[in-house]
Structure 1
Amino acid sequence: MKNRIFGGYRWQVVAVLFLATAIKYIDRNVLSFTMIDESFRRELLGLPIDEPLTSALINSFKIKMGYVDASFKAAYALGFVIMGYLMDRLRVRKGYSLAIGLWSLAALATAFVGNFRSLSIARFGFGFGESANFPAAIKTIAEWFPKKERGLATGIYNAGANMGILATVFLVPFMISNFGWKASFLMTGFLGLILLTLWRWVYYEPNQHPYIRQEELDHIHSDQDMAAKRTLRWREFIKHRGAWAVAIGKFLTDPIWWFYLTWLPDFFNSNEALDTKLELTGLALPFIVIYLSSDIGSIFFGWLSGKFLAMGWSVNKSRKTTLLICALLVIPLMLAALTSNIYIAIPLVALAAAAHQGWSATILTLSSDIFPKAVVGSVVGIAGMVGAIGGTIFAALAGWIIVIYGYFPLFVFASSAYLLAFLAVHLLVPTIQRQKG
């Protein structure tokens, strides 16, 4: 078997990771679209069907939804470090299976909530299970790919997030309009259970795969990592500047992506600066543009850092140049909150989202550049927990900031966060190199 691009079982593994990430993001984004549905708002607020939704009630709803979102992200933070540890201890096949089952059941349970408390509980369980996705995916890629292919592989599976969001744009408004908001959560929960079956059927570690050829195994192990057969303990994490670089990079930028996922439908629906407001069924166009751009950004920047390596650049120069380009492309985002023209706002958000996905794919790849395969799950888990803590804080504040000040302050922070994160990465790790044992 020739080791040409997209040849071999390793790319089938990436395809499954892509699908898993897409389904996860369908599950995650159902709520962000459902929260602009009037029947959902009335039920959560305990209002009769004929009582008008006043501005005061809508503002109260937004603030409480900010706390619900914070509940999800708090569980995500807690789950990240636990799930990262489990991916290393139980191995990916078993550990990720447990996580998929948990988040699918929590998604199904959301269809039966009737108030903000029960919604928060369901979202907490969902966030805890969903937190396994990135530790599992990055560990899988570290096990199945040599270093020169990891950036592209990460970019491809990471692009599943945007495909999931695009699917949500079409599926959820249709489900709500025709069957009510509960049906959308039932649909996505069952998709997760189908994914669980597929994962158990397809995934094996390279050395245990029943059909893999020796040529592909040799290719996968062509730049074999040091064989550290252990997990990363907290006291060791604190000592590693590389781990902190990944963690702080995610702390500052993960909240921005989650902000898009939760609040973009409301931004296009109710932002006072925009002359044109979009209803639930009119969100397809902006979200197609935004998340197709995100897909392109994820794959392109994953390819770009690999291209730099192929040109003879060092890992340090390749990854950091890619991160800097992404950080610069986000800066114009702040103008999206000021323009009155929706056709200007959409491209600005799309550019920022594409740059974020490129940043995300590259910052995650750093963990496998710096650490041995055996501890990648733990590193991504701990770093992801730090990122989720940032997301929890941001989510808890977002609702009332939007109600009091509008979207502009949040967009200003989003525009500058990536440059701050890049500076932190560079200062903590002036030269990217493999950590010992």
Structure 2
Amino acid sequence: MNQQQIGKYRWTVCAMLFFATTVNYLDRQVLSLLAPDLSRQFGWTNSDYANITAVFQFVYAISMLFAGRIVDRLGTKHAFILAITVWSIGAIVHACAIPMGAGLNAVLGAVGIAAVPVSVAGFMIARAILAIGEAGNFPAAIKATAEYFPKRERSFATGIFNSGANIGAVLAPISVPWIAAQWGWQMAFIAIGGIGFLWMGMWQFLYEKPEQQKRLSSAELAYINSDVVVAPATEQVAAPSARRLSWVELLAYRQTWAFAFGKFMTDGVWWFFLFWLPKYLHAQYGMEKTAIMVPLAVLYSMTMVGSIGGGWLPTWFINKGASPYDGRMKAMLLIAVFPLVVLLAQPLGYISVWVPVVLIGIGASAHQAWSCNLFTTVSDMFPKNSVASVVGIGGMAGGLGGVLISKTGGWVFDYYGALGQIQTGYTIMFAGCAVAYLLAWCVMKALVPTHSEIEAPGPDFTVPATAR
């Protein structure tokens, strides 16, 4: 049966996930694009800015752990609506950062805690609200992909919706500086934050579980479930007895730790590029506001190639006989080599601003290729009703890695900036970003050398000793 006969509604779902991820990254990038101007206006040091971004990453990390559980409990449809409502509100309230900061300092003063600068306090509150909501995007999107796509298509579908991050990163430098220049920085947060509410109506109308989706043909539903292994009648367990694995049970599996370590080592690299590149262009080349629009748009346009191409790459190995997991791991090893070009960004940066833009663009593109495959390993190895929980655990690890790299960056840039050697600071940070993927792959391969799928547990299930 060809694809025309099967149907294509699953790709409509993929398009909605792509739109949501685009909005997700638009909202989180507004601050970084306005950072040079806001830093000057409010007198922020690099450490102040690092603290603001670290709050987002820390709250995101903790929220990811619970977001995955909430998505598995509420279901994809309702959990996504809740997530985008919270993060859209969080994006908009950045415009009220100053009064919120004053209110927080008043409360801290009343209980005898030393106040922080009003602007820093206010943006910390806003970033925390944004992080709580945004934590729901990827657990819900990965779960929706597991529900709507057979394993052979999941990495490609993940690559497509994950490229929404790149589109958001491209649209943000084109739109945010212009909005801020026309109507002020507050309106940039309000206008971009409001887009999420448009998405909610479409999602409410178009999304249901595949088994309940009236727009889905029986042929397409059968195709989606084509790689579900059905046990012999004598060995089948009634569907109602299957339950979600608990956090404790999930943490007993090496597969969970492999995914979490991969996220811890590499998520912070992407966030470093996302949050610090505007400040890098300002520190290194004196560029800010509308001047950074074209370089950042070009850089993030490059990442779309990595996201979609990286999603396709394991299919090449799978078609040659590799299992889905082995195909993804081979693809990820190849992908992990490309970020090494970031090592040349500083030594060759004297030639032109476009040299580091292109080299960092290659590294960021490789990250997106890596990310869509890393996410898909979860749906390869875990039952669908626990996928979002595992993604949440890994997301928490990735967020903590992001906190570490952001705080380290703030300290390094202030230290070397005071010595008049800010270039050395970026050389150090770029070097760490370049080697992170190869290290992550080696540890992941050591933890899970071959594919091992975890079955949905029945009522009398205990974690096998071999998983520990």
With the length of structure 1 as denominator, give the TM-score of the two structures.
Answer: 0.92
1:346 and 2:357 matched: yes
Gapped regions of structure 2 (runs ≥ 5):
99-118, 231-238, 417-424, 457-468
Can you list the C-alpha shifts for 1:228-252, whole angstroms capped at 9, x where unaligned? 8433322212210011100000000
Deviations 1:307-359 (A, max 9, x none): 22122222243111111111100012022123212121111101101100000
Q: Distance in 1 between matches of 2:257 and 2:324?
A: 18
Shift of 1:42: 4.9
The one-letter amino acid paired with 1:198 is M
Partners of 1:429 and 1:189 lie apart in 2 by 40
SS in 2 for 1:337: coil
After superposition, the C-alpha distances for 1:120-168 in whole angstroms (9 at most, x for unaligned) are: 0110110011011110010000000000000100000000001001110
Q: What residue is the counterpart of 2:9 in the other structure?
A: 9
Structure 1: where are the runs of 5+ without partners? 46-59
Which among 338, 356, 359 is matched to residue 329 of structure 1? 338
| Aligned counterpart for 1:375 among listed residues 365, 368, 386 | 386
* Among candidates 162, 168, 182, match of residue 172 of structure 2: 168
2:39 maps to what in 1?
41
Alignment correspondent of 2:30: 30
Structure with higher Rg: it is: 2
Mark the CA change 1:212 to 1:232 in structure 2 (over 3 Å): closer, same or farther.
same
Name the residue aligned to 1:398: 409
Match of 1:66 in 2: 50
1:225 Cα offset (Å): 6.2
Alignment deviations for residues 56-76 of structure 1 (CA, whole Å, 9 cap, x no partner): xxxx43210100111001110
Aligned equivalents of 1:394, 1:6: Cα separation in 2? 46
Q: Which amino acid aligns with 2:438?
A: L
What is the alpha-carbon distance in structure 2 between the residues aligned to residue 5 and residue 210 of structure 1? 17
* Structural RMSD (CA): 1.7
More divergent stretch after superposition (146-155 vs 230-239): 230-239
Deviation larger for 351-360 or 389-398 = 389-398
Give how far 1:2 is off.
Answer: 4.0
1:19-72, CA deviations, whole angstroms, 9 ceiling, x for partnerless residues?
0000110000000001112xx335534xxxxxxxxxxxxxx4321010011100
Say how many residue pairs are matched.
Answer: 417
Provide the residue aligned with 2:258 in structure 1: 245
CA shift, 1:279, in A, is: 2.5
TM alignment of 1:181-330, pairs within 5 A: 181-224=185-228, 229-271=242-284, 276-330=285-339
Partner of 2:103: none
Letter in 2 for 1:347: V
**Could you tell me which amino acid in structure 1 is paired with residue 298 of structure 2?**
V
Shift of 1:289: 2.2
CA contact (8 A) 1:246 1:383 kept: yes
1:159 counterpart SS class: helix
Residues 6 and 220, structure 2, Cα contact 8 Å, conserved in 1:
no
Given that 1:85 and 1:231 are in contact with CA atoms closer than 8 Å, whether structure 2 keeps it comes out as no
**Aligned counterparts, 1:146-161, within 5 A:** 146-161=150-165
User: Deviation of residue 373 (structure 1)?
Assistant: 0.9
Tell which deviates more after alignment, 259-268 or 397-406. 397-406
SS of the counterpart of 2:176? helix
Partner AA of 1:319 in structure 2: R
1:422 maps to 2:433: no
- How far 1:89 sits from its partner (Å)? 0.4
Matched residue, 1:89: 73
Matched to 1:236, the amino acid is E
Taking the aligned partners of 1:345 and 1:384, their CA distance within structure 2 comes to: 28
Look up the match of 1:20.
Answer: 20
**Amino acid across the alignment from 1:17:** L
The separation in 1 between residues aligned to 2:315 and 2:210, in whole angstroms, is 22
In the alignment, the residues of structure 2 paired with residue 158 and residue 212 of structure 1 have an alpha-carbon distance, to the nearest angstrom, of 23
CA deviation after TM superposition for structure 1 residue 397, in Å: 2.1
* 2:431 matches 1:412: yes
2:453 to 428, 434, 437: 434
Q: Is the 8 A contact 1:232 1:379 kept in 2?
A: no
Percent pairwise identity: 38
**SS of the counterpart of 1:175?**
helix
Instruction: Give yes or no for contact 2:325–2:377 (8 Å, CA) kept in 1.
Output: no
SS where residue 449 of structure 2 aligns? coil
Q: Distance in 2 between matches of 1:144 and 1:414?
A: 34
In the alignment, residue 375 of structure 1 is paired with which amino acid? S
Q: Distance in 2 between matches of 1:15 and 1:44?
A: 40
Q: Which residue type is aligned with residue 313 of structure 2?
A: L
